[in-house]
Structure 1
Amino acid sequence: MTVEKTMISKEVLQQYVGALEDWIPKDAAVAIAVGDCYVYYVAGLHDIRLKHGQAVQPGSIAEKVIQERCKVDTVMDATLFGVPYYGIGYPIDLRGEPAALVVVLPPNYHVLRHEPFRFITGKQEDEWSPISIEEVAYFESLQKKTWFYSDGEQFCTTTTLKDLSLRLPKTFLRVHRSYIVNISYIQRISRDFSSNLVLLLKDGTELPVSQTYMNDVRTALGF
């Protein structure tokens, strides 16, 4: 790793962290690795004491993300950093180089997640309606609010996409920073003029799949 790569400005690195803020849990530690070393680390409540310039260890989440270019979600023991932790790694590109953004949480975080939602209450004007979660076609983040769509109607909810990601059943799939879709409402998958994936829902709605979630969508849907 050259000195130039390790001297990437903190502002540039924070842009990548900011792009994921909708689904990074509060008080999580965040690390960014590019090539063979870490170039950014902000400690959270669960601190693994990473240092700027520290080498990426074999068997780490960062190494796997960089090599395989896929999201990694796993519990790590104390072998690498002296403390166990639960980590979620995302593949990113940093100035043209393959890189990894790793979210670090307590090792029991995945166990502490609440039971999946069975229904969600939405608001229309001054009325609230509890909707069975299976009847929701998709969720959308728009203009700093969260909306969901059921039976052709739009509802507003106070639950963020980040929190929904932790409590929705496995039949729901995050496909974009702004969208979570109910897989059972997908009619077909195609590509747009830029070769990006597009989901056509049964009600005619089209949802884009961002590059960040491309591998997740392919893995979940098996194509």
Structure 2
Amino acid sequence: MKQLSLSSLLDVMVELFSEEVSIAITNKHEYVYYRRSKRIDLKIHEGDPIKKGTLAYKAITTNKKVSEFIDRNIYGVPYHGMAVPYYNEDEMEGCVLAIYPAYTEGKSVVTVRSQDGWKPIPFSELIYLEAKERKTYAVAQDYAGFHTNTLQEFEFMLPTDVFIRCHRSYIVNVNNIEEIYPDTHSTFMLGMKNGEQVPVSQSYSSYFRKLLGF
């Protein structure tokens, strides 16, 4: 069998992603691969330098995964995305990016289905989000409802300094955690301000402890 070129392999891998997602790969200084989606195009070209303030710049300068909203000031298009550094042995060589369309620039509410229509819930009032019945169940102090976005999509939309993925089925608002309880096998239970409990799974426990500093 003939050896696939890197570009051909990446083109095939991109088919695994949603048609809304653009994919980019960089070295430490410039983009070496870009595949635009049908919904979001930053008009990046191979050989373009990495601009300050972008996800790629933040991932490379901090040497860690970055997931956040970027406004239109850099590329003229607002977007959500995730950038993850990659390594050759112990040396960081660049990053891989997944780029999502911004549903609303600067959006600060999650609008859920209500009995009579829809209800916007401000980010600050959200307590947690749960993957439930193939939708996302958004829980606030005095209200709860379903949204069609997945938890993964919410990870890109919500501010990362407040909302943390703690389980494959949960994202929590850290400002609404009342107390953290140890559980079995290095896991935790979160006592939330509405009196409910949310689990922190073993696969997320180290990441969760690191972010909350305990």
TM-score (norm 1): 0.53
Give ranges in structure 2 of 5+ residues lacking alignment: none
CA distance in 2, matches of 1:116, 1:101: 29
In the TM superposition, residue 157 of structure 1 has moved relative to its aligned partner by 0.9
Match of 2:127 among 137, 141, 146: 137
| Matched-pair contact (CA < 8 Å) for 1:116–1:169 | no
Match of 2:165 among 162, 165, 175: 175
Match of 1:49 in 2: 44
Aligned residue identity for 1:175: R
In the TM superposition, residue 12 of structure 1 has moved relative to its aligned partner by 7.4
In the TM superposition, residue 57 of structure 1 has moved relative to its aligned partner by 3.8
Tell me, yes or no, if structure 1 residue 66 matches structure 2 residue 60. yes
What SS does structure 1 have at the residue aligned with 2:42? coil
CA distance in 2, matches of 1:101, 1:84: 21
| Matched-pair contact (CA < 8 Å) for 1:121–1:128 | yes
| Matched-pair contact (CA < 8 Å) for 2:51–2:57 | yes
In the TM superposition, residue 30 of structure 1 has moved relative to its aligned partner by 2.7
Tell me, yes or no, if structure 1 residue 158 matches structure 2 residue 147. yes
| Matched-pair contact (CA < 8 Å) for 1:145–1:156 | no
Aligned residue identity for 1:9: L
Change (3 A) 1:148 1:37: same
In the TM superposition, residue 136 of structure 1 has moved relative to its aligned partner by 5.2
CA distance in 2, matches of 1:70, 1:95: 16
Change (3 A) 1:182 1:69: closer
What SS does structure 1 have at the residue aligned with 2:163? strand
CA distance in 1, matches of 2:108, 2:197: 31
| Matched-pair contact (CA < 8 Å) for 2:26–2:56 | yes
Match of 1:101 in 2: 96
Tell me, yes or no, if structure 1 residue 112 matches structure 2 residue 105. yes
CA distance in 2, matches of 1:28, 1:158: 20
Aligned residue identity for 1:200: L
What SS does structure 2 have at the residue aligned with 1:9? helix
| Matched-pair contact (CA < 8 Å) for 2:86–2:96 | no
Over aligned residues, Cα RMSD in angstroms?
A: 5.3
Match of 1:188 in 2: 180
Match of 1:146 in 2: 136
In the TM superposition, residue 69 of structure 1 has moved relative to its aligned partner by 1.2
Aligned residue identity for 1:66: I
Percent identity over the alignment is 17
Q: What are the Cα deviations for residues 64-104 of structure 1, in whole angstroms up to 9, with x where unaligned? A: 413421416545866xxxx5454644225478785523355
Give ranges in structure 1 of 5+ residues lacking alignment: none
Tell me, yes or no, if structure 1 residue 205 matches structure 2 residue 198. yes
- What is the aligned residue count? 195
What SS does structure 2 have at the residue aligned with 1:205? strand
CA distance in 1, matches of 2:120, 2:104: 26
CA distance in 2, matches of 1:72, 1:149: 22
What SS does structure 1 have at the residue aligned with 2:45? coil
Match of 2:26 among 26, 33, 41: 33
| Matched-pair contact (CA < 8 Å) for 1:70–1:91 | yes
CA distance in 2, matches of 1:188, 1:62: 33
Q: What are the Cα deviations for residues 25-59 of structure 1, in whole angstroms up to 9, with x where unaligned? A: x74533133566645422144332322xx376474
CA distance in 2, matches of 1:164, 1:91: 14
Q: What are the Cα deviations for residues 160-201 of structure 1, in whole angstroms up to 9, with x where unaligned? A: 2436964x68995141564221324422276974x6x74523
